[in-house]
Amino acid sequence: MEFDFAAEQPKLLMLMYGLVAFVLVVGGLLLLLDVVPAWFARRREAQLVAASASGAPLPRRPRQREGIFALFFLLPTLLLLTIGLVVPAIRTLLLSLMNGDSTEWVGLRNYGFLFSDDAMLRVLTNTLIWVLLVPLVATGFGLIYAVLVDKARFEAVAKSLIFLPMAISFVGASIIWKFVYAYRGEGDQIGLLNQIVVSLGGEPKQWLLESPLNTLLLIVIMVWIQAGFAMVVLSAAIKAIPGDIVEAARLDGVSPWQMFWQITMPSIRPALIVVMVTLTIATLKVFDIVRTSTNGNYDTSVIANEMYNQAFRYGQSGQGSALAVFLFILVIPVVIYQIRNLRQQREG
Amino acid sequence: MTTATPTVAAGTQKTDGTPTTTAGRVRKRLNSRTATLVSIVIAVVWTIPTFGLLVSSLRPEDEIKTTGWWTAFTNPQFTFENYEQVLFGRSASSGQLAGSFINSLAITIPSVLFPLAFASLAAYALAWIKFRGRDWLYIAIFALQIVPLQMALVPLLKFFSTGVTLGGVTLMPAWDLVDEQKFAQVWFAHTCFALPFAVFLLHNFISQLPGDLMEAARVDGATHPKIFRTIVLPLITPALAAFGIFQFLWVWNDLLVALIFAGGGDETAPLTVRLAEMAGTRGNEWQRLTAGAFVSIVVPLIVFLSLQRFFVRGLLAGSVKG
């Protein structure tokens, strides 16, 4: 075991450059914003002094130009958003109408490919399964857990344990679960799932190779990660229900079941929608889990994974772009739904 | 909530006195002691996969590959060999994650700082400087949250590798970055992708600062930069922390952006890229995968556990990341 520290030095140097650039850019901007107005103020003062000394009429005070300030405050953000997001998104839209190496216009052929190719249809079906299951299961579980644990004695610890997977990368989580699903042909099983199956008298299986079960097993990983998010947001919403409503219901002798459906559910509806929408969008874009667990093989691929493969492995930037655009189109109705809900809430 | 009250009253009449059997059963089930027990059991089940990984990473290679990690309790054999191998091992197959760990750090730190600074400046301008078209600009930035980053990947990579030419005029030459210089691409990409959400989140906080305070400062002759530095920044520290943690976890745990803009080379690949690669090519080398996964998990876990309060606050303030 040796560690070649010299090999790491260029990286640390690069990190240093990055930090120096940060200080220069941000510090420079703030300094500029400080110095320039001060300079103008001084010049105006000098003008005033000169004017009053010569007895000429005082120059009129110029209108405050706040817009200039705003421009400088916004400059880095607008520049980066334009270069890094707006222009590339438009170019992706155009690329999706071109062939693999972007030399010819092909119209909507790439989109036709999405809906005719057998492997692609499999990808779309898988994505649909993901999008239907993950938000529903994760939110349902998060909600039940939030209700269960509300005001329980170990609430903080229990919630932390459920929430913990949020900190784990999708890659890390995939490895954790691949280990749970691990299979050995002979001898003791090392994967927890197969061990449970064996001890119940079943035959061990290569879980991740069996379609369509493997997609469901990958979905378990996503639910495991995201349930904590749903739980935390919903738990906060439950705690925000005014105490007197709950108290009044309790005095009326409402059962916990009714309390849940008639008090809790209507009160946390907005939070519920936010969680569902957030999870739906996150699920649509899921990439890391599929790539790490199966690399999209054995019929598990989803849109984001296929987009990466097409654009960056097979060099089919046309088909890859079409997949990206399709992803974007799928996100739009979800977001519109969310906005409409927010508006209703504000009016209601 | 007003609509809920009548239904409740109606429901009460039905079950007044003797509760129906269903309600009775539910009440029993939701009895607080049982609920506590169930929630603890679920929490334990939720933690078992991670726990199994941690235990396995500390077991000798032969043991991991032949027996389940649960046997470690009846037959305890523990070692740090896996961690030594996976972090510092000389052979290419061992992972050499120590270098990737540094790559992860080098990618993450600037990718958190840049959007934090730019977004707080922008959010201040959008909240407190009056100019024409302000609301439209805010809506536009807000709307950009829904553009999936997949929409930007191909052209952005092209932007770095070939530069920008418009009508035969080179507006920007190719970046032509090699080895560790590629970090700059990753910083750039992460910063761009983070900005819409960052502006949205920080704007939520900054626009809620008391207007009187700003007015008083303006009357005293403070300029916008001065107000920003001396009044706004100290007041929004919790929001900055919330976004900082959010972005830190996002960048540290990201695979897609790193894969495309950093590549898989030793000089730049962060932990996630290296681990995903190991999971693909050495899927049965559990002694390395378990230890490697834990190496990648430990930093976000520490950050997360120590700053959970800020993180939750940030989540609740802006859980609409697109």
Top mean pLDDT of A65-79, A113-127, A142-156, B56-70 is at A113-127
pLDDT band at B73 (very low <50, low <70, confident <90, very high): confident
CB within 8 Å: B67 and A190:
yes
Q: Chain A partners of B109 at a C-beta cutoff of 8 Å?
A: 15, 18-19
Residue A278 has pLDDT above 70, yes or no: yes
Question: How far is residue B14's CA from residue B9's CA, in Å, rounded to a whole number?
Answer: 9
Q: What is the pLDDT of residue B84?
A: 82
Query: What is the rounded CA–CA span in Å between residue B130 and residue A31?
Result: 21
> Are A190 and B102 a contacting pair at CB < 8 A?
no
What is the model's pLDDT at position A143?
92
Higher pLDDT, A60 or B85: B85
Please name the member of B153, B249, B303 whose beta carbon is closest to the beta carbon of A311.
Answer: B153
Rounded to two decimals, the ipTM of the complex is: 0.85
pLDDT band at B15 (very low <50, low <70, confident <90, very high): very low
Grade residue A261 by pLDDT with cuts at 50, 70 and 90: confident
Residues of A in contact with B11 (CB under 8 A): 254, 258, 262
Residue in chain A lying closest to B180 (CA): A11
Nearest Cα of chain A lies from the Cα of B34 at a distance, in angstroms, of 9
Q: Work out the percent of chain A whose per-residue pLDDT is above 70.
A: 94
Evaluate if residue B159 carries a pLDDT over 50: yes
Tell which of A14, A44, A209 to mutate to test the B interface (max B CBs under 10 Å). Answer: A14
Residue from A12, A68, A73, A328 whose CB has the most chain B CBs within 10 Å, to mutate: A73
Cβ atoms of B211 and B127 closer than 8 Å: no
Whether the predicted pLDDT of B28 surpasses 80: no
Which element (helix H / strand E) includes B164?
strand B164-166
What percent of chain B clears pLDDT 70, i.e. is strictly above it? 85
Q: Which of B39, B88, B154 sits opposite A3 (nearest CB)?
A: B88
Return the minimum-mean-pLDDT range out of A67-71, A333-337, B21-25, B179-183: B21-25
Enumerate residues 243 to 262 of chain A having a beta carbon within 8 A of any beta carbon in chain B: 245, 249, 252-258, 262
Which residue on chain A is closest to B89 by alpha carbon? A1
Distance (Å, whole) CA B87 – CA A11 = 17
A348 touches chain B (CB under 8 A): no
Cα–Cα distance measured from residue B1 to residue B87, given in angstroms and rounded to the nearest whole number: 56
Q: Which of B71, B126, B129 sits opposite A66 (nearest CB)?
A: B129
- Whether residue B131 and residue A95 make contact (CB cut-off 8 A), yes or no, is no
In Å, how far is A177's CA from the nearest CA of chain B?
Answer: 7
Please tell me the distance in Å from A228's CA to the nearest CA on chain B: 10
Q: Cβ distance B300 to A168 under 8 Å?
A: yes
- How big is the A-B interface in CB pairs under 8 Å? 404
Facing residue for B151 by CB, picked from A92, A153, A255: A92
Query: Does residue A270 or residue B124 have the better pLDDT?
Result: B124
Return the pLDDT at B16.
39
Q: A50-85 pLDDT, tens per residue?
A: 877 777 666 565 555 667 777 888 999 999 999 989
Q: Name the phi and psi angles at B170, rounded to 5.
A: -80, 110
**Which residue among A67, A172, A295 sits closest to B296, beta carbon to beta carbon?**
A172
Round the average pLDDT of chain A to a whole number and report it: 85
Instruction: Say if the Cβ atoms of A256 and B32 lie within 8 Å.
Output: no
Q: List CB contacts (< 8 A) between B282 and chain A.
A: none
Whole-number pLDDT of residue B72: 77
Rounded-to-integer distance, Cα A189 and Cα A170, Å: 25
Residue A88 touches partner B, C-beta closer than 8 Å: yes
- The DSSP bridge partners found for residue B165 are B170
- Render pLDDT for A115-133 as a digit per residue (tens, 0 to 9): 888 888 999 999 999 999 9
Give yes or no for A28 touching B (CB within 8 A): no
Predicted local distance difference test score (pLDDT) of residue A208: 84
| Inter-chain touch B150–A22, beta carbons under 8 Å | no
CB-CB contact of A208 with A181 (8 Å) = yes
CB contact residues (below 8 A), chain A span 117-156, against chain B:
145, 148-149, 151-154
pLDDT band at B267 (very low <50, low <70, confident <90, very high): confident
Mean pLDDT of B21-34: 58
Condensed to tens digits (0 to 9), the pLDDT of residues B110-125 reads 999 999 999 999 999 9
Indicate the domain borders of chain B: 18-79, 93-317
Q: Least CB-CB distance to B319: which of A86, A278, A285?
A: A278
Q: Phi-psi region for residue A295, left (φ > 0), alpha (ψ -120 to 50) or beta? A: left
Q: Compute the average pLDDT of residues B221-250.
A: 87
Neighbours of B257 (CB within 10 A): 23
- Cβ-nearest to B276 among A80, A154, A171: A171
Smallest Cα distance from A333 to chain B, Å = 11
| Element of type H or E holding A121 | helix A118-149
pLDDT of residue A256: 78
Q: Do A255 and B15 touch (CB under 8 A)?
A: yes
pLDDT > 70? residue B108: yes
Q: Which residues of B touch A11 (CB under 8 A)?
A: 99, 102-103, 106, 180, 183, 267
Q: How far is A233 from chain B (nearest CA, A)?
A: 6
Q: What is the pTM of this model?
A: 0.85
> Rounded distance, CA A327 to CA A158, Å?
36
Q: Please report which confidence band the pLDDT of residue B100 belongs to, taking 50, 70 and 90 as the band edges.
A: confident
Judge whether residue B128 has pLDDT over 80.
Answer: yes
Return the axis-axis angle of helices B97-128 and B271-281, rounded to nearest 10°. 130
Q: Is the pLDDT of residue B90 over 70?
A: no
Binding-face residues of A in 183-202 toward B, CB within 8 A:
187-192, 195
Chain B nearest C-alpha distance from A55 (Å): 27
Task: For chain B, give the mean pLDDT.
Answer: 80
| Lowest-pLDDT choice from A41-55, A116-130, A240-254 | A41-55
Name which of A182, A116, A126, A118 is nearest A300 in CA terms. Answer: A126
Contact at CB, B195 and A81, closer than 8 angstroms? yes
Residue B21 has pLDDT above 60, yes or no: no
Residues 57-76 of A with CB under 8 A from B: 66-67, 69-70, 73-74, 76
Domain B93-317 sits in CATH at 1.10.3720.10
Chain B residues whose beta carbon lies within 8 Å of the beta carbon of residue A224: 46, 49
DSSP B60-97: -HHHHHHS-GGGGGTS----SHHHHHHHH-SSGGG--H
CB-CB contact of B149 with B193 (8 Å): yes
Alpha carbon of A52: minimum distance to chain B alpha carbons (Å): 23
Residue A178, CA distances (Å) to A172, A214, B214, B283, B288 in order: 10, 11, 54, 9, 13
Better-scored residue on pLDDT, B72 or A74: A74
Q: What is the pLDDT of residue B23?
A: 55
Which domains does chain A carry? 11-109 (no CATH), 113-347 (1.10.3720.10)
A37 to B252: CB separation less than 8 angstroms, yes or no: no
| Coil/strand/helix, residue B171 | strand
